[in-house]
A and B are shown apart, each in its own frame.
Chain A
Amino acid sequence: MTAVTAVTDRTDHDGGEEDAHARVQHDDHDTRDGRTERAREETGAETGAGRGEETGKGKAEETKQEGSHDWDDGLIARRAADDQAAGAEIGPMGARTTTSLAHDGPLRSRLDALRELVGVSRARLDNRTLAEAGRVLEEAAARRRLSGQHTVVALAGATGSGKSTLFNALTGAALSDTGVRRPTTAAPIVCSWSDGAAPLIDRLGVPGRLRRRPVEGVDGDSPLRGLVLVDLPDHDSAAVQHREQVDRILALVDAVIWVVDPEKYADAVLHERYLRPLAGHAEVMFVVLNQVDRLPGEAAHQVLDDLRRLLDEDGVALGEYGEPGAAVHAVSALTGDGVGELREALGRFVAERGAPARRLSADLEAAARRLRPAYAAGGPAGLGEEARDDFTARLADAVGATAAGEAAERAWLRHAGRACGTPWLRLWRWLQDRRDPPTGRLPVPAPEDEEATARQRVEQAVRVLSERAATGLPEPWAVAVREAALRGSQGLPEALDELAARAGRPQARPPRPGWWPLAVLVQAAMTVLQVLGGIWLVGQIVGVLPPNLGVPALLMATGIVGGPVVEWGSRLAARGPARRYGLEAERRLREAAAGCGRTRVLEPVTAELLRYQEVREQYGRVVGAPTVVR
């Protein structure tokens, strides 16, 4: 049974679409080659309208958008030049002016916005994501270069639904073969109601032998003037190449008439493969229920209602009660029922000449919608102050700013104590130092190549920062942000090493407070007092000096008590300056590390975020612009 359900899977394949795209591109190359010729042919009188294309897939290239700008910017000089070119080949309908599509202004600005968007995001997004947008642009440019007066409408539908019969009914002659053999039509057939559509038909890749003229002729004021009708092969038969042709041409036409019949109107392949993806193109879509003659009276209405319900479920807006959307008609191509109304509707539609622009803007919207995940994602993007502070704090940790500051403070305190200490203590310490090996006591001179910075902490800091910066960004931009952070972090530990060595090195002489010399002096005085008292006492003992026990003893006692008191006092007094000194050392290291991190990592990341912000705004311009045609 493998295939039983596999069958159903196949109805919603995407592979076909991609093939179609590829083919479209080929096709467009051809188109471009023939462009000059076509332009000459075209120069005629097409003011205003064009055809819109139908399908959401496959959009052609944008080659030479500059060229297309030329026609729209209102410069007389350019128009004149164009007129000269046009003058060379005045079409059968007399003097004409080359025109762009109707309602082109807003569409053009959105297309420009999209082009800019694609340009700025090339470096960030992969080609596959952008290909769709690129195709839309190319297609739009190609279509806008061509006649805006014609509207290319395709008849599409399942095999046996009567596309060719309807084609014949609309053209008024048996131009396309009809038959009971399924599938009947194998190649698209084109019928053009007015001249000048050749380049458009070239673009469809329909050879000359398959081009037809309606019976009524092309010169008259036919209500269908400007219509180029394409009869497509089926999209659901076992002949795969038919489906490929349909997909290719649907991408190039301005509007589509979907022909369904009472038997097949609910086929999964029609709804899932075509109508749902094309729901956004409802304005350039007709849905025609053919073969109503096979349904008895009431049933036709039931089926029509059911069809409308299905279309609604597909998301196709129905153009009823004057709202924009797909129009649903019931006809019988065989008996001619309803064909007249369809012709009228088509005539109105073609006369409006809005279809090409509508189709292009629907394409644009579809492309923009598909790009959405690449440009817009959840929450707000950007780095908060907190994240920056956290990053610099982590870098400071990595260089060991806190410990360095504490060490500096304690060292300063120690020096102060030693400087203001009693000489005896200093002497004792000196002796002890001489006796003990100096290991660990004296600061070991740091080798230059030492890794003083904790690599793992730097790595972690950068990682946390880039994760924070990347949250809320669409994936491609998140990757870009991470890469920017990673690039910046290369060499960061080494730079921090160097910086720590420079900034962390204590100044040659720590600054001393003003009272320090005084303290040293007093301490010295105390020593002198001790010595004096001692000498005096010794002198008395020896008998050189008159005996006076009180004063020398007092002197000596003052010296002996005063020395440690001064030492203790100055240590207390040194605490404040030591703290300041330590904090200063810490701050210097911290700031140096932060500065290094800012220039190397934070700034590139912020720049990347800014770029994303810009792109996002650009995307907003593509999406947010008001609908082009009303």
Chain B
Amino acid sequence: MLQNPAKIGHSSRVVTLDVRPQLLDALSALRDRVAAVRYPLPLAGAPRARANRDELLAQLDDYLVPRLREPEAPLLAVVGGSTGAGKSTLVNSLVGRRVSEAGVLRPTTRTPVLVCHPGDHHWFSGMRVLPHLTRAWVPRRERCDEQYPLGGDGRRVLRIETAESLPQGLALLDAPDVDSLFADNRVLAAELISAADIWVMVTTAARYADAVPWHLLRTAKQHRVTLITVLDRVPHQVASEVSRQYGALLAKAGLGEVPRFTVPELPESAWGGGLLPATAVAPLRTWLAHQVTDPGARHRAMARTAHGVLDSLRARMPELAGAAAAQYAAALRLTTAVDTAYDREHARVKRRLQNGAVLAGDALKRWRSYPLDCTAAELLDALVESLSALLLCAAIAADQSAAEAWRREPAADAPELTRRDPVLESAEHRIGMAVRRWRRVLEEYAEEEVRDLDGGAAPDPEVLAALVATALLGGRRVRSAGERLAGLIGAHGALRLRDRAGRLLTEYVGRVLRAERERRLAPLDALDVTPEPQAELIAALSVLLKER
């Protein structure tokens, strides 16, 4: 190993950040909260919130927590920018040798390269920062054209290079392009930039007005990180004019005080075959070296970014919490839609039962011909069938109107919610079971009544069951059923049987519709969208702010 413990002397003169263990605890609690929050419903803001969550998590893991734990670790300067801006050439030139592949084909850099002094290697070889990236470390690269594949199995790789020419305490990271055609590159670039103590934004004479890098600059300003910009590939003849205009644009964006370096376009910078002469990058090199050698400057650079990120939590956490609240609100809307639909159908079923809608069709025909041309069992069969048709109709109507309401909700597009079982058959089956069970219990009631009578003229319990079912389900239409029931077992017994059967019916109808509703809501419940994350995020933030 190349590291030389004797050389790590600089850490002693590092001015450490004022970090108390409580702050670290609060921060890791906050990190866990952020990691736990989920945005499963596809709301308009959800992809954004997910990206924000991932970024914040990456920044906490890759930058803030390690930085506050170990303030003496080397400063990491991440070189970011558009594709073709010459980031790799710049890094190579700063290091003085080809550490990162440069070339004319875009995007060139797909595997990020971290360059540090051999003495700092131990800081980066472990998983202290950027724990998501697999390390690939080659002590000394003999051949420059060697290809390092992107993690073949989808793992992302960070290549670590060492160079004596870099001052100790400084590490350079050559990030992929921020506006790459490869979405993976973009995400990786954002993640890497999040890990930086010093953001080095590279743009070019042809690009300085591009929209995409400006978003990055604005973000940097928002987070008040330590930022420098490099205007690369500037043709000599227009250098002063372009530089002036770029400066004006920066000033207009409120970034006037940001250190600005201009690197001229030389044949070398066009195809990356070689390195830029040391003079071209000397000012930038000096500035970077100054940041690590001068304790005051180092502290300022580090503290500015760390505090900037800490401060940015103030805005970002409420944003995440807001998105979590929106998720909960959407889930609540979905639940309410289902509840409303089922409640409405339940009310309709009750109304229909009262009106005697069950005693229609077959059941009515049976009743009309009872008892001359029809047996009690047939009448009861028809009634049971009619009742289950009514319940099935209600369940399916509720399901449909819930689906209709969900169609208007963007949140209902979640794949977990759209995947549905074939409702019709299974609902028919379940409802049929429930109604048949009701019939059995009703017959038991009738038997009990008959047992109580114990006279010689005890009526057939089936007749009792059929009559009481008719009286219950036929509504006001069939007073005669009640009268006959009273004739058979006496007014008191008839009333009692009827009451019990009525309660039973209400209970079964309620149970059936509740079960259907729960089945409808089960996938949503499985997503487990609760109001807690919002409160927890805000609480974690306020604890953190108190500890600062």
Whether the Cβ atoms of A9 and B48 lie closer than 8 Å is yes
A265: shortest Cβ distance to chain B, in Å?
6
Are the CB atoms of B365 and A160 closer together than 8 Å?
no
Contact present for A404 and B270 (CB under 8 Å): no
Q: Does A158 contact B (CB under 8 A)?
A: yes
Chain A residues with CB under 8 Å of B178's CB are 4, 7-8
Some 10 contacts from A to B, beta carbons below 8 A apart, are: A5-B51, A8-B190, A10-B215, A268-B186, A295-B271, A310-B181, A403-B374, A406-B374, A439-B480, A454-B386
In contact, B209 and A182 (Cβ under 8 angstroms): yes
Q: How many residues of B are in contact with the other chain, CB < 8 A?
A: 90
B260 within 8 A of A: no
Cα distance A403–B245 when bound, in Å? 92
A306 close to B106 (CB less than 8 A): yes
B-chain residues with CB within 8 Å of residue A269 when the two chains form the complex:
179, 211-212
Known: A180-B238, A456-B390. A299 touches B271 (CB 8 A): yes
Complex Cα distance A10/B484, Å? 77
Q: Mark B373-398, 1 if CB is under 8 A from A, else 0.
A: 11000000010001001101110110
Residue from A2, A10, A234, A452 within 8 A of B364 (CB atoms): A452
Contact with B357, one of A161, A303, A439, A454 (Cβ below 8 angstroms) = A454
Interface centre among B178, B205, B206, B267 (most CB of A within 10 A): B206
Minimum distance in angstroms from B164 CB to a CB of chain A: 31
Query: Shortest beta-carbon distance, B194 to chain A, in Å?
Result: 5
Whether A159 sits at the interface, judged by CB under 8 Å, is yes
Complex Cα distance, B206 from A236, in Å, reads: 11
Of all chain B residues, the one with the shortest Cβ separation from A403 is: B365
- For B480, the closest partner residue in chain A by CB is A439
Interface residues as binary, A255-282 with B (CB distance below 8 Å gives 1, 0 otherwise): 0000001111111110110000000000
> A268 CA to B47 CA in the complex, in Å?
19
Known A2-B52, A265-B106, A267-B181: A441·B372 in contact at CB below 8 Å: yes
**B437 interface residue (CB < 8 Å to A):** no
Contact partners of A440 in chain B: CB under 8 A: 370-371, 480, 484
Q: Is B55 an interface residue (CB 8 A)?
A: yes
* Contact assessment for A407 and B365 in the assembled complex, using a CB-CB cutoff below 8 Å: yes
Please, which residue of chain B has its CB at the minimum distance from the CB of A272? B181
Instruction: Decide yes or no: A407 and B84 within 8 Å by CB, A397-B362, A400-B361 being known contacts.
Output: no
B371 to chain A: which residues have CB within 8 Å? 440
B207 within 8 A of A: yes
List residues of chain B with CB within 8 A of the CB of A7. Answer: 178-179, 212, 215-216, 219
- Closest Cβ–Cβ distance, residue A263 to chain B (whole Å): 4
- Bound: A334/B189 CA distance, A: 34
- Kindly list 15 other residue pairs between chains A and B, CB separation below 8 angstroms, not including A264-B84, A302-B104: A2-B316, A8-B212, A237-B211, A263-B84, A264-B206, A264-B207, A266-B180, A267-B181, A302-B105, A306-B106, A400-B363, A403-B361, A403-B363, A407-B374, A454-B357
Q: Which residue of B lies closest to A450 (CB)?
A: B477
**Contact yes or no, B368 A181, CB < 8 A:** no
Leading 6 A-B pairs by shortest Cβ distance: A160-B206, A266-B106, A454-B361, A410-B373, A3-B219, A182-B209
B207 touches A182 (CB 8 A): yes
Chain B residue at minimal CB-CB distance from A413: B373
Task: Find out whether the CB atom of B362 lies under 8 angstroms from the CB atom of A4.
Answer: no
Q: Does B100 have its Cβ within 8 Å of any Cβ on chain A?
A: no
A4-B372 in contact (CB<8A): no
Docked-complex contact B361 and A443, CB < 8 angstroms: no
Q: Are A457 and B393 in contact (CB under 8 A)?
A: yes
Interface residues of B in 454-504 (CB under 8 A from A): 477, 480, 483-484
Residue A239 lies at the interface, judged by CB distance under 8 Å to chain B: yes
Which chain B residue lies CB-closest to A405? B365
- Tell me the bound Cα distance from A404 to B245 in angstroms: 93
For residues 295 through 315 of chain A, which have their beta carbon under 8 Å from a beta carbon of chain B? 295-296, 299, 302-303, 306, 310
- Number of inter-chain CB pairs below 8 Å: 258
* A294 closest partner in B (C-beta): B270
Check B222 for interface membership: any CB of A closer than 8 A: yes
| Given A268-B186, A302-B105, A455-B357, A8:B179 Cβ within 8 A | yes
CA distance in complex: A8, B210 (Å): 13
Q: Which of B167-195 contact A (CB under 8 A)?
A: 178-181, 183, 186-187, 189-190, 193-194
- The verdict on B218 contacting chain A, using a C-beta distance below 8 Å, is yes
From A5, A238, A404, A450, contact of B211 by CB (8 A): A238
| Complex Cα spacing A181 to B357, Å | 81
**A267 pairs with B82, CB closer than 8 A:** yes
The answer for the CA separation of A10 and B213 in the assembled complex, in Å, is 12
Residues of A within 8 A of B (CB): 1-11, 158-161, 180-183, 234, 236-240, 261-269, 271-272, 294-296, 299, 302-303, 306, 310, 397-400, 402-404, 406-407, 410-411, 414, 439-441, 443-444, 446, 450-457, 459-460, 463-464, 504
Q: Residue among B51, B54, B358 with the most chain A CB within 10 A?
A: B51
Q: Known contacts A400-B365, A411-B372: does B205 contact A271 (CB below 8 Å)? A: no
In the complex, what distance in Å separates the CA atom of A382 from the CA atom of B486? 54
Residues of A contacting B327 with CB < 8 Å?
none
Identify the closest chain B residue to A271 (Cβ).
B181
CB distance from A473 to the nearest CB of B (A): 16
Task: Say yes or no: A3 contacts B389, CB within 8 Å.
Answer: no
Q: Which residues of B sit under 8 angstroms from A452, Cβ to Cβ?
A: 360-361, 364
Shortest Cβ distance from residue B57 to the other chain A in the assembled complex, whole angstroms: 10
Does the CB pair A9–B392 fall under 8 Å? no
With A4-B193, A8-B179 in contact, do A457 and B270 touch (Cβ < 8 Å)?
no
Residue numbers in B under 8 Å from A399 (CB-CB) = 361
Contact A263 B374 (CB under 8 A): no
Q: A404 — which chain B residues lie within 8 A by C-beta? A: 365
Interface contact B209-A263, CB-CB below 8 Å: no
With beta carbons under 8 angstroms apart, the residue of A181, A263, A266 that contacts B207 is A263
State A460–B372 Cα separation when bound (angstroms): 31
Residues of B within 8 A of A460 (CB): 389, 392-393, 396
Whether B104 lies near A303 (C-beta < 8 A) is yes
The residue in chain B whose Cβ has the minimal distance to the Cβ of A310 is: B181
Contact B205 A160 (CB under 8 A): yes
Residues of B within 8 A of A459 (CB): 393, 397
Tell yes or no: B109 within 8 A of A by CB: no
**Contact partners of B400 in chain A: CB under 8 A:** 463
Q: State whether A463 touches B396 (Cβ < 8 A).
A: yes
Q: Which residue of A lies closest to B319 (CB)?
A: A2
B residues in contact with A234, CB < 8 Å: 209
In the complex, residue of chain B having the shortest beta-carbon distance to the beta carbon of A463: B396
B207–A268 touching, CB < 8 Å: no
A304 to chain B, nearest CB (A): 10
Which A-chain residue is minimally distant from B242 (CB atoms)? A180
For B54, list chain A residues within 8 Å (CB).
5
Q: Are B206 and A295 in contact (CB under 8 A)?
A: no
Q: Counting chain A CB atoms within 10 Å of each CB, which of B241, B372, B480 scores highest?
A: B372
Once the chains bind, are A268 and B206 in contact (CB under 8 Å)? no
In the assembled complex, the Cα of A504 lies from the Cα of B360 at a distance in Å of: 14
Interface pair B360/A455, CB less than 8 Å apart: yes
Q: Does B92 make an interface contact (CB < 8 A)?
A: no
Q: Determine if A296 and B207 form an interchain contact, defined as CB atoms under 8 angstroms apart.
A: no
Closest residue of A by beta carbon distance from B374: A407
Q: How far is the CA of A444 from the CA of B107 in the complex (A)?
A: 89
B393 near A456 with CB under 8 A, answer: yes
Q: How far is the CB of A75 from chain B (nearest CB, A)?
A: 51
Q: Which residues of A contact B165 (CB under 8 A)?
A: none
Q: How far is the CA of A3 from the CA of B190 in the complex (A)?
A: 9
B121 interfacial contact with A, CB 8 Å: no
Q: Would you list which residues of chain B between 46 and 76 have a CB under 8 Å from chain A?
A: 47-48, 51-52, 54-56, 58-59
Chain B residues positioned under 8 Å from A456 (CB to CB): 352, 357, 386, 389-390, 392-394
* Residue of A with least CB distance to B183: A8
Which residues does chain B contribute within 8 Å of A302, judged by CB atoms? 104-105
Which listed residue (A5, A181, A306) contacts B245, Cβ 8 A?
A181
Residues of chain B within 8 A (CB-CB) of A457 are: 361, 386, 389, 393
Report if B233 contacts A (CB, 8 A). Answer: yes
A interface footprint on B81-109 (CB within 8 Å = 1, 0 otherwise)? 01111000000000000000000111100
Q: How far is the CA of A453 from the CA of B545 in the complex (A)?
A: 70
